[in-house]
Amino acid sequence: MSDSGAENADKGAENELPEKVEPVKLLETSADPAPQEEEDVEEYLKSKNIILLDYEKQMFLDLVEADGLLVCAKGLNYDRVVISILKAYSDSGNLVLVINSSDWEEQYYKSKMEPKYVHEVANTANERERVYLEGGLQFISTRILVVDLLKQRIPIELISGIIVMRAHTIIESCQEAFALRLYRQKNKTGFVKAFSSSPEAFTIGYSHVERTMRNLFVKQLYIWPRFHESVRAVLQPWKIQSIEMHVPISQSITSIQSHILEIMNFLVQEIKRINRTVDMEAVTVENCVTKTFHKILQAQLDCIWHQLNSQTKLIVADLKILRSLMISTMYHDAVSAYAFMKRYRSTEYALSNSGWTLLDAAEQIFKLSRQRVVNGQQEFEPEPCPKWQTLTDLLTKEIPGDMQRSRRSEQPKVLILCQDARTCHQLKQYLTQGGPRFLLQQALHHEVPVGKLSDNYAKESQTRGATPKDVSSNKDTRKEEVSGSQPPPAGMDELAQLLSESETEGQHFEESYMLTMTQPVEIEPAIDIKPDPDVSIFETIPELEQFDVTAALASVPHQPYICLQTFKTEREGSMALERMLEQLQPHYVVMYNMNVTVIRQLEVFEARRRLPPAERMKVYFLIHARTVEEQAYLTSLRREKAAFELIIDTKSKMVIPKYQDGKTDEAFLLFKNYDDELTDENAKSRQAGGQAPEAPKETPKVIVDMREFRSDLPCLIHKRGLEVLPLTITIGDYILTPEICVERKSISDLIGSLNSGRLYNQCVQMQRHYAKPILLIEFDQNKPFHLQGKFMLSQQTSMANADIVQKLQLLTLHFPKLRLIWSPSPYATAQLFEELKLGKPEPDPQTAAALGSDEPTAGEQLRFNSGIYDFLLRLPGVHTRNIHGLLRKGGSLRQLLLRSQKELEELLQSQESAKLLYDILHVAHLPEKDEVVGSTALLAASKQFGAGSHNRFRMAAAASRRGRR
């Protein structure tokens, strides 16, 4: 155990950049404020009851002074800066919109604001219009915002500004970029302030930073890494007391780790050997063990996935599996790791993998995993997790001893931080039940054969199982049942109880637990869980009235009060840890797993408290040195540092146009403006020498169904200069002209619609009401433009794929007028829509909304029986332009059969159409002899037309033969 100071807590994070980059100069976001201005800011923040660190004040000043994108390191949360800006604009005279925030961010910021300024988003359009006019703050979903902006329900000119969260996700085609473009086109004075804490995201793709800033309409980029001089100056004086505890791992785990890395190395070399022409730079063993490996792999291989052979795809899948095996070995208990390992020892998996299970290293992995659970005599003796004993020593010896040395009389509190809920649950079970009982419970849960227990294991299990009896008198009976600390009866009842416990636990684990010690220090600790494990902060537990925590802790003043917590929770995200630190005010923090973000959160928390060194919290890091765990931590640090270096370098070379903020019309000149288009000189000369006055060209309009605003296409259509009209329509998704109706389907939606029969009904409706129905099959722009293959089309068998193709063929046979368009991306679709509309009349929103509805309209097609309408439309010579005249004057089908060809010509207004219709009604159409079916078809036809059936066809055929003679 070595005291290494705060520098080790953030390994390498404070290292300076290489000499060629000058971070201090490039990171100067703005000049130091004048003393008077700084005093004003201090007074303002104090009046709003906001306490900011110095670097946070600088962030606040930068963003108040000018719009921009702020990118900060993970852990240096910008939440207080956002709160300061929101409070600065909290007034009924301002309307501030916050977009792209997660649910837990929205709840957190709302809780920090005055309720009278925060307005909930109304469900109805009229209510939303009223709420917009009330001003204040609105956390709104972007889809609703885009529709309201297009329908002008929101007073765009009166919006004070928009705050964008998670700005690294803003791409050109997303809804947030669409909303910002609509906002900037009509509002030149409001602000746009964007925040992001994911620098690595800006390294993916070409010039991601510049494109994001262009989409946000901002000109300033503020960069705040951990090695920023201002951040270091704030955190260094209040550095945490950190103690690194290098926990040795067993020889079995070391060997398993070595063998898994050996197999990974072999597979990485194999994948590079097979694909020499493909860039596989990101596929390295170092990246394979990181958490973001699947994202790196997806970004690199998605576009060429259909070009890779089956062996490469198997290797990619196996690399993910091997990473899971590594995590299970390092972090899970021996029994769970062995059960997980057994899944890949089956015959089915051996036949479907890339062949790694046949390697000698794989055999060693399976053998060593079993040895961790069963000893040499084939007795059940599972190996405990390496960190368990170290954690026990910390809680029973190190922390109580430190409390005595420091002569603290207050109640000590310990916060144990884990990477996930599963680890959190594992520690709770270990501390409440003891390791042996927990491992036996895991064996029963995973159906691992227990057989005979070893003598050492049985003795230890009995010792730990009897411990809670000593404290049972101090606890309420109900609490014992909840914590499971009361020893169960022997025999089958114990097995039944353990099995039932595992079943009730299932795979759902809580993200936080509150525990307290009630044992003397000399005996191993029995820790009892509070009545309600769902609630992480003890002040909010309703059972506190029945369970007097203060009295319980006062009786044992030097025993730790323990809280188990994950790094972040689903309900509160990373804010859960910050709230826990503020309310619990722990004296000791045990980092059971390593995490860069959490270490920085602890540093910032300590800097806010400004306590003397003796009163600061001690942080213990439990880490397996020279293992995959340490390597993954260092890799995440290195990747973040490299990302910031790239962003800093980009900022130094970036050329930003003056008009990029959108406050002048120059920013929108790249989009087509049909009102300002002028025809060329040749066109003018044809109009009587250019003397004829030319009417202004109308902006093309596209009617878009409201449900389509979940996709990227409306945004890209608008960007090409077309006017988007949001409307709830029942037929089609996009109406381009009075005749052209488009039904858009993604690949997954196409498969589902074909299988359910929904697409057939949609095509029936389109063909009934529109002359040119179009089925648009759109591919993802990040995926290959390639339909064949099990991976892209469906995860089912090839028979199902063939079935899909057959259904597409049937669809084209049933609807001859249906056009199929295959589009590689939404960008191509937007361009296609623009070309389809050239020179065509604009669609009418009222007509489009009325079609297909139950209400009667002026449309002629609704006056007739839809079944007769569809039948006639399928006859040769009948189309959408003449069917209404035929329905009005044709009478009935019987009367239609009696009409001559001349009369049909008058009805259809076409000689050719009349002949086609007359022939299909009066001439017998028998198969020709030279057709594929040949004589078989003729024989079937002669039988069909025998014995008085179909006399009309026989008479017509005879008449036609006489006529030819």
Give 285's pLDDT tier (boundaries 50, 70, 90): confident
Sheet architecture: strand order including 136-139: 118-119, 136-139, 95-99, 161-164, 191-196, 68-72, 220-224
Check if the beta carbon of residue 24 is closer than 8 Å to that of residue 223. no
Token couple for 789? 């293959």
**Which pLDDT score is estimated for 477?**
25
**Which pLDDT score is estimated for 801?**
56
Q: Does the pLDDT of residue 127 top 60, yes or no?
A: yes
DSSP lists the bridge partners of residue 618 as 241, 588
Residue 296: how many other CB atoms lie within 10 Å: 18
Residue 141: how many other CB atoms lie within 10 Å: 12
Tell me what percent of the residues of the chain surpass a pLDDT of 70. Answer: 75
**Interacting residues of 855 by C-beta distance below 8 A, sequence separation 6+:** none
* Calpha distance 778→195 (Å, rounded): 32
**Which pLDDT score is estimated for 559?**
57
Give 121's pLDDT tier (boundaries 50, 70, 90): confident
* Calpha distance 711→716 (Å, rounded): 10
Give 936's pLDDT tier (boundaries 50, 70, 90): low
**Which pLDDT score is estimated for 470?**
28
**Which pLDDT score is estimated for 203?**
87
* Calpha distance 849→845 (Å, rounded): 6
For all residues of the chain together, what is the average pLDDT?
77
Alpha helices per DSSP H over 757-910: 758-769, 790-793, 798-814, 826-836, 845-850, 866-873, 883-889, 893-898, 901-908
Buried b (16+ CB within 10 A) or exposed e, 802-815: ebbeebbeebeeeb
Q: Is 173 helix (H, G, I), strand (E, B) or coil?
A: coil
585: left (phi over 0), alpha (psi -120 to 50) or beta: left
| Cα 395–chain centre separation | 39
Residue range 566-579: mean pLDDT, rounded: 87
Residue 765: how many other CB atoms lie within 10 Å: 18
Residue range 113-128: mean pLDDT, rounded: 87
More confident residue, 2 or 155: 155
Integer-rounded Cα radius of gyration of the chain: 36
**Which pLDDT score is estimated for 23?**
34
| Cα 244–chain centre separation | 35
Fill in the DSSP letter of residue 290: S
Check if the beta carbon of residue 11 is closer than 8 Å to that of residue 599. no
Write out the DSSP string of 870-888.
Answer: HHHHTSTT--TTTHHHHHH
Q: What are the pLDDT digits (tens) for 161-207?
A: 999 999 999 988 889 999 999 999 999 999 999 999 999 999 887 78
Q: What are the pLDDT digits (tens) for 45-86?
A: 777 767 899 999 999 999 999 999 999 999 998 999 999 999
Give the dihedral of Cα atoms 905, 909, 913, 914; nearest 10 deg: -10
Buried b (16+ CB within 10 A) or exposed e, 528-537: bbbbbbebbb
Token couple for 428? 């709770």
Residue range 796-806: mean pLDDT, rounded: 60
Burial of residue 588, with CB atoms counted within 10 A of its CB: 0-12 exposed, 13-18 middle, 19 or more buried: buried
Q: Nearest 5°: phi and psi at 415? A: -115, 120
Q: What are the pLDDT digits (tens) for 4-16?
A: 443 444 444 444 3
Q: What are the pLDDT digits (tens) for 293-346?
A: 777 777 777 777 777 888 888 888 898 899 999 999 999 999 999 999 999 998
Give 475's pLDDT tier (boundaries 50, 70, 90): very low
Q: Nearest 5°: phi and psi at 740? A: -100, 120
Q: Does the pLDDT of residue 753 top 80, yes or no?
A: yes
Of the listed ranges 354-368, 816-830, 900-914, the least confidently predicted one is 900-914
Task: Indicate the length of the chain as a whole number.
Answer: 965
Fill in the DSSP letter of residue 623: E
DSSP lists the bridge partners of residue 178 as none
| Cα 683–chain centre separation | 51
Tell me what percent of the residues of the chain surpass a pLDDT of 90. Answer: 37
- Global pTM value: 0.75
Check if the beta carbon of residue 518 is closer than 8 Å to that of residue 559. yes
**Which pLDDT score is estimated for 160?**
94
Check if the beta carbon of residue 196 is closer than 8 Å to that of residue 166. yes
* Calpha distance 826→847 (Å, rounded): 27
Of the listed ranges 349-358, 456-465, 658-667, 730-739, the least confidently predicted one is 456-465
Q: What are the pLDDT digits (tens) for 666-677?
A: 767 655 555 444
Give 591's pLDDT tier (boundaries 50, 70, 90): very high
Q: What are the pLDDT digits (tens) for 488-537?
A: 333 333 223 322 333 333 356 777 776 766 443 332 333 333 333 333 22
Upper half-sphere CA count for residue 318 (Cβ side, 13 Å): 27
Q: What are the pLDDT digits (tens) for 243-258?
A: 999 999 999 999 999 9
Q: Does the pLDDT of residue 733 top 50, yes or no?
A: yes
Determine which helix (DSSP H) or strand (DSSP E) holds 481, and give its type and residue range: helix 477-483
**CA distances for 662 relative to 169, 217, 242, 445, 600, angstroms:** 20, 6, 48, 60, 36
**Interacting residues of 447 by C-beta distance below 8 A, sequence separation 6+:** 339
Burial of residue 400, with CB atoms counted within 10 A of its CB: 0-12 exposed, 13-18 middle, 19 or more buried: middle
The residue behind tokens 């730079």 is: 281
Q: What are the pLDDT digits (tens) for 619-661?
A: 999 999 888 889 889 989 999 999 999 999 999 999 998 888 8
Of the listed ranges 554-558, 678-682, 728-732, 881-885, the least confidently predicted one is 678-682
Q: Does the pLDDT of residue 280 top 80, yes or no?
A: no
